[in-house]
Amino acid sequence: MWRDRVDDIETTLLPSLSNEGRAALFDRLRDLGEHPWAARFVRDRMRAVLSGARSAAAPDGGHDMTLAVAAAAAALPPRETARDLERTLGQAPDEAWRRNTIGGLSRRDLVPLLARLAWHEESFVIAAGLLRKLSDHETEPWANNATSVWEGLFRVYLGGTSLPFDRRLPLLDEVVGRSQANLRRPALGALREALGIMEVRDADAEDQGGRILDEEWHPTSQTEDQSARRAALERLDTLCDDGDDDLARDAWSILLDAARSLIKLGLSEDVIRRLEQVPRQTDEDVYLLRQCMQEILAWEKDALSDDQQERIRAFLASLTGPTWFDRLRRWAGPRAFAEYGQDGDDVIAESPAPSATDELVDQAVSNPALLTNDVWAWLKSPASTAAANAWPFAERLGRKDVEGRWLSMVYDHDTLHHNAALGVSASFELLRFAGLRCSTRAPSFFQGVGVP
């Protein structure tokens, strides 16, 4: 049939079939793999689609076209299909890549087709390059998202390709080296994938009909796995030093998120050395770094040497400055989960926070001048980002401030009116434990904040 009637299939048979009949025919094409006559048929249709010509078999230009493209990924040699796409799409202007249809192909057809072509070594570079071009002009935040498909090509185990990891890196280097920050940003997602250990992908790339696929590349040893992760870390180093502050901050965030997983893989020294270089420009920076280090020490210490554990403890101590206000920000600010002293039902350590808070309160009661304007400004910052644990400090202070000196400061600085989050935690505790029995200064103030 294919030898004698291949021309008639396009002009006579397909127009007479229902959508279901066309679907059955193209399912059969997928199973035929690289049969020469079937391949010729699909090749001709594919090139007609790329040229923008309407198919006589699909006057609406829709359903049948999708099926033809899906069949092409299986029925044609991958290199040939990739080169056809490159010739047609590679010269398209930037505005064309923002459209729903590019070179006769809709995005919904093009993205999965490129994912299938990326499976093969012979077509990976072209497919990945076209996916990156789609990513640069992304219009699909959810389904058919070219950015997520491109980023996923750099997973270590589930990259959806038979190409070894080190041979994918030149494409990543091209993105890392781009001149514009927004064009370098896709490299962050790729590196996040490369440094993660909880890998997930869909199976669309493997759905290539009757074609027997080469095996997906996976590391064959821990050494090979570590080599891939180190290569990703080296490229992340470049982005951590990026001149764009937002991009650099996001790169450091990837390191913090991946740190524990990488230590599990035996890369503790690589991780610790980099964590020691994380910028500490804000209290939030310090908190996130402290949280990462404490969780490593609490739950990954079996992967650390004794020297590394001591090194982390010393580094953690250095994150808190020497002044009373430094220590207040440390213990009245946000705390890592590990600091609460429990892992489920198993106590792993006694939290040092209560005793540290008691010491801060004793010093404040004996020297009220410690509560400077800077301290009040910090206490009035949103509790979710700064004074997240001000309330236990205020509770202890309220119990000891029998003369009401700190209550007067609450009133003078109008803390409740500046910060509702703090008002129901720290300042209210001051009122509850000190003001109700110690102050007669401003009864209208107490009524205004709902104190009976």
269-299 pLDDT per residue, tens:
999 999 999 999 988 899 999 999 999 998 9
Q: Which phi and psi angles does 106 have, rounded to 5°?
A: -80, 155
d(CA 150, CA 213): 20
Q: What is the CA radius of gyration of the chain?
A: 31
* Residue finishing a domain among 76, 107, 141: 76
In a domain, 185, yes or no: no
Which of 197, 193, 165 lies closest to 265 in space, CA to CA? Answer: 197
CB of 389 within 8 A of CB of 333? yes
Q: How far is CA 451 from CA 391, 399, 413, 435, in A?
A: 17, 17, 18, 10
The pLDDT of residue 383 is 56
In a domain, 337, yes or no: no
Q: How far is CA 407 from CA 97, 140, 361, 364, in A?
A: 63, 55, 14, 13
Angle at 146 between CA 144 and CA 149, to 5 degrees: 95
CB atoms within 10 A of CB 19: 13
CB atoms within 10 A of CB 9: 18
* Residue finishing a domain among 49, 76, 103: 76
- pTM for the full model? 0.85
* Residue finishing a domain among 43, 76, 109: 76
Q: Which phi and psi angles does 212 have, rounded to 5°?
A: -85, 115
In a domain, 409, yes or no: yes
In a domain, 394, yes or no: yes
Kindly report, residue by residue over 7-24, the tens digit of the pLDDT.
677 778 878 888 778 777
d(CA 262, CA 255): 9
Low-confidence spans in the chain with pLDDT less than 50: 55-61, 344-348, 415-426, 433-452
Domain that holds residue 434: 356-452
Tally of structural domains, the chain = 2
Angle at 281 between CA 280 and CA 286, to 5 degrees: 40
Q: How far is CA 434 from CA 301, 328, 406, in A?
A: 44, 20, 8
- Three-state SS string across the chain, please? CHHHHHHHHHHHHHHHCCHHHHHHHHHHHHHHCCCHHHHHHHHHHHHHHHHCCCCCCCCCCCHHHHHHHHHHHHHCCHHHHHHHHHHHHCCCCHHHHHCCEECCEEHHHHHHHHHHHCCCHHHHHHHHHHHHHHHHCCCCCCCCCHHHHHHHCCCCCCCCCCCCHHHHHHHHHHHHCCCCHHHHCHHHHHHHHHHCCCCCCCCHHHCCCCCCCCCCCCCCCHHHHHHHHHHHHHHHHHHHCCCCHHHHHHHHHHHHHHHHHHHHCCCHHHHHHHHCCCCCCCHHHHHHHHHHHHHHHHHCHHHCCHHHHHHHHHHHHHCCCCCHHHHHHHHHCCCCHHHHCEECCEECCCCCHHHHHHHHHHHHHHCHHHCCHHHHHHHCCCCCCCCCCHHHHHHHHHHHCCCCHHHHHHHHHCHHHHCHHHHHHHHHHHHHHHHHHHCCCCHHHHHHCCCC
In a domain, 70, yes or no: yes
In a domain, 452, yes or no: yes
The pLDDT of residue 394 is 78
In a domain, 263, yes or no: no
d(CA 13, CA 7): 10
Q: How far is CA 386 from CA 252, 260, 356, 395, in A?
A: 20, 25, 17, 18
CA 391 to chain centre: 33
d(CA 126, CA 131): 9
In a domain, 320, yes or no: no
